[in-house]
Every structure is written in C-alpha cells, then in structure tokens.
Amino acid sequence: MSDLYVQFKTDLGIVRAVDGVSYTVAPGETLAVVGESGSGKTVGALSVMGLVPPPGRIVSGSVRLGGKDLVGIPEEELRRVRGKSIGMIFQDPLSALNPVMRVGRQISEAVRIHQAVSRRQAKTRAVELLDLVGIPNAAARADQYPHEFSGGMRQRVLIAIAIANNPSVLIADEPTTALDVTIQAQILDLLKTLQQSYGMALVLITHDFGLVAEQADRVLVMYAGRVVEYAEVDLIYKTPLHPYTLGLIASVPRLDVDRERLTPIAGHPPSLIHVPSGCAFHPRCPWVKQLCLETTPSLNAGARASHLVSCHFAGSLPERSPPREGGGIRQRG
C-alpha cells in the first residue's frame, strides 16, 4: 500500500479516514495495524479489498498485490482477486455469515466462485476445510446453520472461508475481539499454524497490544488516519518513539507487571472531520510545543533506518518519563 488516501464526503464535512498510509507485507510475515476506534485501520483494510463503503472513496494512492495495482481496476477484475488472492476475516463472526444457509454451502460457494470444480468436489473441499480449522465431526457440522455454532466455531468457519482459495494475503480485522480469552488463544494458535503452512502474509488489525507482541513481526501504529510509527515489533516495545505509542503502552494494565497507577492518555481521539492542525496528536501530547500545532510531522527514520516515526521531537523526548496525567491541551468538547 502506498500513500493511500480514503475520504468520505458527508454533510458535516470530509472525513479523512485514511490520510496517506503506506506499508508493505511480505509472504509469511505478520504486520499488525494498531490503533483505536476511528484511527482508520479498518477502512485501510477495506480499501485493499476494494470494499470501501460509499460515500467513501479512494482519492489517491495505490494498493499493489504482487506488483499489480488494485486501485481503479474494474469491479469484475477486483472480484477475481477478492476472496482468492486476498482473504478477509471480520470481527463479528455472526453477522459475517448468512444465517439461512448451511455452513458447508457457504464455504463451498466461496470455493466455486474462484475454482472450476463440481458441486460435489466443492462440498468435499468444504468438509476438508472445516476439519483443517479444527471443527470436530466436520462432515456433520457442514450441514448445520450458523446459529448452531458457538462464537469460536463461527470464527473458525470464517477462517475456513477466508483460506478456501489459498490466498497469498489474509486480512484479519479484530479477529478475536468478540471472543472469550480461552477461545481467542485457540483461534490465534490456528491462524499461526495456517500462516506457517501456507506462507500467507497476514495483516492483523487490532487494538490489543498483547496480541501484537505475540503475533506480529512488524507493527504499524495509526492515529487519526495517519501512520505515527512503523517498526519491527521488538523496537516498538523496547524503544517506542512516538508519544502516542508510549502512551498506549503505559496505559494498559498488565498481568506480569504491577502498576500502582495507570498513566492514561489525556483527552480522547479526535473527530476525523476536524483533525487537529499540525500533528493530529498534539492536543493529547504531554510534550507538545508550538511547532506541533503548526506543522504536520512527516514519517521519518529514527535512530534506525527501519524504525519510522512521525514526531518533530521523537529523538529528544525525555527518556521514559511518563506523560503527566491530565496533561496536554484541554479538548473543547
């Protein structure tokens, strides 16, 4: 993805959902896209699939899959890519399945759209896929409806559909947010195994820093539609450079570390219609200076060439000092 801009024209103004985002993901690699609600992480993923809902549209930029640009190609052609070369898993497994169609049929349809196989072959493949994603009695379960499946099992079905045509890229949008933690562990384990055996590139969209630490090779942190930090996972945790990343890591309670008191980020995420001037994070930043209000920082390499950050003062922030609570400029709310 390079320099992608996605905007929604609304009565209230233009929503800049994705505001110049670039990233790459290699076969077998996991890229985590981290951000809060409204950071543009989901819209970014949808634009890869050509699924940005109206009135949203890709204003400029490109999404290349194996060198071929997917932005602006005819819907017909896009349909051949979607579900075949790129699979997608959504957050809510219930609303992503058709409630009145047998589960096996939903998987075999996904197969038949992209592969010239008979109905019977597709059905066999569906059962194979259900088995592969760890559903017991796959043959019998294929004849059941989604409501007969638990949340974790539904997510397995969606994974089966997403990988039905051996995609080279799998996009998982908060794949475990709706699931219980013991089920989440099962699903993540499954995704990892599948990724390793098929060499898929995985784009994992999440707000959970724990998931990121365990799953990702590289991390892209988004804020207000823009990339604020982009680096290998170890660097993000060991030497976070952007005040927002620092704030996120400091604000999460942890199982393995005792914290007397959490240090929250002041204020709340901005509206994407009225993105703050200069650096979009400036109203919440404890280290804000005049320059931050005036000039939008660009994404540049920090101490290492592979560690990108967009902050005017990334190199010179007081080392590890926690942002003061209630700091930043008060939001007019």
Partner 1 sequence: MNSKPHGAPLLEVERLVKHFPVGQGLLNRTAGTVRAVDGVSFAIGRGETLGLVGESGCGKSTTARLVLRLIEPTSGSIRFEGREITKLGRKELRKLRREMQIVFQDPYDSLNPRMTVRRIVAEPLVAHGVYERDAGRIFVEELLQRVGLNAEHADRYPHQFSGGQRQRIGVARALALRPRLIVCDEPVSTLDVSIQAQIINLLEDLQEEFDLTYLFIAHDLAVVRHISDRIAVMYLGAIVEVADKLELYKNPLHPYTQALLSAVPAPDPARKPQSERIILRRDPPNPLELPKGCRFHPRCFRAEEVAAAGNEESVVGGGGHLVPRRCAEEEPALDARGWGPGHETACHFAEVRTVP
Taking the least distance from each CB to partner 1, the nearer of 128 and 214 is: 214
Taking the least distance from each CB to partner 1, the nearer of 196 and 295 is: 196
Q: How far is the CB of 180 from partner 1 (least distance, A)?
A: 4
Taking the least distance from each CB to partner 1, the nearer of 260 and 319 is: 260
Let me know if 145 is exposed, middle or buried by CB neighbors in 10 A (0-12, 13-18, 19+).
middle
Is-contact 256 289, C-beta < 8 A?
Answer: no
Q: What tokens were used for 190?
A: 């499954």
Q: How far is the CB of 93 from partner 1 (least distance, A)?
A: 13
Distance (Å, rounded) from C-alpha 131 to C-alpha 70? 33
Taking the least distance from each CB to partner 1, the nearer of 62 and 186 is: 186
Distance (Å, rounded) from C-alpha 227 to C-alpha 221? 6
Q: How far is the CB of 86 from partner 1 (least distance, A)?
A: 25
Q: How far is the CB of 257 from partner 1 (least distance, A)?
A: 9
Q: Which residues of the chain form contacts with partner 1 (CB under 8 A)? A: 36-37, 150-153, 180-186, 188-189, 192, 207-215, 233-234, 237, 247-249, 251-256, 259, 261-266, 268-269, 325, 333
Q: How far is the CB of 223 from partner 1 (least distance, A)?
A: 10
Q: Which amino acid is at 282?
A: H
Torsional class of 13: left (φ above 0), alpha (ψ -120 to 50), beta (otherwise): left
Taking the least distance from each CB to partner 1, the nearer of 24 and 150 is: 150
